[in-house]
Amino acid sequence: MSSLVAFFFLDMAWYVSQKYLDMYPLAQVTYPPLKEDDRDDVPKEGLDLISDTYINAVSHHQYGKGVQAYLAATSYADTQIGRILDTLKSSPYKDNTIVVLVSDHGFHVGEKGHWQKGTLWEDGTNVLLMVDAPGVTDENRAIHTPVSLLDLYPTLMELVGMEIPAHVDGRSLVPLLKGIASRYEFPVLTAYQNHISVRTDRFRLIRYSDGGIELYASLDDPNEWNNLAERSEYQGVIAGLSDMLPEVHMLPYVNARLNADE
C-alpha cells in the first residue's frame, strides 16, 4: 500500500497564519547571499528565463516581506509534515513504512536576480530529498553528493525487494542510504524548455538551445557566481561534461497559451 500527500504552500502565493510570519520578524529576516553583477556573465537565453518579480519586489520595497513569507510558508509546511510523521510514529505501521519527502523543483529568492522557479542553476534545480526506510537509513546520515529524482523509483523497488526493470534510467540509491557508498558516480541531468544541465560532484554545465554555455565549479563556487565557460583552462572540463549530454533530450518546447475558446 502506498500513499501520497502533497503540499502547495511553497509555491506562490503564500497564505499562512500570522503566527508563522511572527516567527520571522522583518528586522531579523536572513536573506540569501546575492551578488550585484551576478548576471553579467550569463548568456542571453539564461537571462530570458529570469522573471521581473524580484526587480519589482525590490523597487516596491516588498523584497523583505517576500522572503519573510517564503520562510513562513516553509515553517508552515514543516509543521504539517511533522503532524503526519507524528501520526505515523503512533501507528502500527511505523516500523514497516518507507517515508520519502521530496519537492518538485528548487526556488530562487533573489539569486541571479530571479524570483520563482524555472532555471537550470543550483537554486532552481536543487530539491529537498529525505528518505526514511526502517532498518536501512540512519537519521544522522546526510548525503551531499548530487543524485537524480529518476533514482527514486529503482530505490523504492530495491527497498521493497522487487526487481528493478532494465529499461529504467535511474539507479538505486540504497548503497548511499546504507552508507556502503559515499559518492554517486553518475551525472545528474536536468532539462527545462529547450535547455539542459549536467551536474557532477565538482561542476555544473548548462547548455542553452542557442549554444550558450555556463560552467560553474560547484565545490568552490556553490552560489554559482563565476561562469568559467570562457576560461581556456576549463575547455577540457566542458568537453567532458558535454559528452554526458544527449544530443536530443526532449521534443521542441513551444510556449503557447491557448484561450478556452481556441
Structural domains in the chain?
41-242 (3.40.720.10)
Cell of 259: 484561450
Task: For the chain, 262 residues long, give each residue's pLDDT as a single digit of tens.
Answer: 677 777 765 566 678 899 999 999 999 999 999 999 999 999 999 999 999 999 999 999 999 999 999 999 999 999 999 999 999 999 999 999 999 999 989 999 999 999 999 999 999 999 999 999 999 999 889 998 999 999 999 999 999 999 999 999 899 999 999 999 878 889 999 999 889 999 999 999 999 999 999 999 999 999 999 999 999 999 999 999 999 998 766 666 666 555 555 4
What's residue 254's pLDDT?
67
Query: 116: closest CA among 29, 253, 190, 10?
Result: 10
DSSP conformation class of 111 = G
Residue 161: Cβ within 10 Å count: 6
Cis before 142 (ω within 30): no
Task: State the cell numbers at 190.
Answer: 536536468
* 135 sits in which H/E element: none
Task: Determine the pLDDT at residue 8.
Answer: 67
- Give the Å distances, CA to CA, from 149 to 127, 129, 146, 161: 9, 8, 10, 20
Cα–Cα–Cα angle for 230, 236, 238, nearest 5°?
60
Position 6 scores a pLDDT of 76
Long-range CB contact pairs, 88-94, < 8 A, 24+:
94/134
193 Rama sector, left if φ>0, alpha if ψ -120 to 50, beta otherwise: left
Element (H, E) at 215: strand 213-217
pLDDT of residue 184: 86
Q: Which residues contact 5 (CB under 8 A, 6 or more apart)?
A: 84
**What is the model's pLDDT at position 185?**
83
